[in-house]
Amino acid sequence: MASGLPHEGVYARLGVSRVEGIGVFAIRPIPEGTDIFPSDRQPIVWVSLADLERAGLSATEALFYRDFGIRRGNRIGCPQSFGNLTASWYLNEPPDGAAPNVRAAADFSLIASRDIAEGEELLIDYASFSETPDD
């Protein structure tokens, strides 16, 4: 078996979601407790809502913060550049009545909260990002 190939350590890829738009899907079984995106460790930039309001964003620019930002009090956590969004930023919330299968750890790594089957969409409760301790 070859080693060091680009697919190794990758658990998920983007696809068409039944929940909403683009989703993230398991490409192999993911055991409970697995860090699903171990190579995705870009720093999160925290921007105050007041700074965003003063910036005079266009409606299209504001969508980046609404669609991808991690809301925590009066701040929003974002990637260093919205031009570098990785698959981990595309997780959808589960539909009403369904349970998430991913949770955010204190360092914002994304952990399988139960065993996830190949082909299953990865879903997270967005509130789990806000419930992590504020450093």
Q: Which amino acid is at 28?
A: R
pLDDT in tens, 88-121: 989 999 998 899 999 988 888 899 999 999 999 9
Q: Check if the beta carbon of residue 87 is closer than 8 Å to that of residue 23.
A: no
Q: Three-state DSSP class for 23?
A: strand
pLDDT in tens, 44-67: 889 999 999 999 999 999 999 988
pLDDT at site 135: 38
Domain range annotation of the chain: 9-39+86-129, 43-84
CA-based nearest residue to 123, from 95, 94, 90: 94
- The CATH T-level fold of domain 9-39+86-129 is Beta-clip-like (2.170.270)
Confidence band for 42, pLDDT divided at 50, 70 and 90: confident
Instruction: Answer positive or negative: Cα dihedral of 114, 77, 17, 9.
Output: negative
